[in-house]
Amino acid sequence: MTRSTMAENADTDLRIGIHQLLNAQSGDEHAPSIYRIGDLAREFGVSLRTLRFYEGLGLVSPQRRGTTRLYSKRDRMRLRLVLLAKLLGFSLTEAKQIIEIYHEPNGRRRQLERALQRFEEQREILLDQRRDIEESIEAMDVSLDFVRRRIAENY
For residue 53, the domain's CATH number is 1.10.1660.10
Say if residue 136 is in the same domain as residue 78. no
Look up the pTM and report it.
0.75
Q: What is the residue range of 142's domain? A: 104-155
Say if residue 110 is in the same domain as residue 86. no
Say if residue 65 is in the same domain as residue 119. no
Say if residue 64 is in the same domain as residue 30. yes
Predicted local confidence at residue 28, as pLDDT:
59
CB hemisphere CA count around 73 (13 angstroms) = 10
Contact 62, 70 (CB under 8 A): yes
Predicted local confidence at residue 104, as pLDDT:
86
Say if residue 35 is in the same domain as residue 80. yes
Asked if residue 99 belongs to a domain, the reply is no
Q: How many domains does the chain fold into?
A: 2
Contact 119, 87 (CB under 8 A): no
Q: Which of 33, 55, 90 is the last residue of a domain?
A: 90
Task: Please list the rounded mean pLDDT of every run of 10 residues in the chain (155 residues).
Answer: 48 64 65 91 95 96 94 94 93 93 87 93 97 98 97 88
Instruction: Spell out the residues 6+ positions from residue 80 whose beta carbon is closer than 8 angstroms to its own.
Output: 21, 24, 25, 44
Asked if residue 95 belongs to a domain, the reply is no
Say if residue 76 is in the same domain as residue 144. no
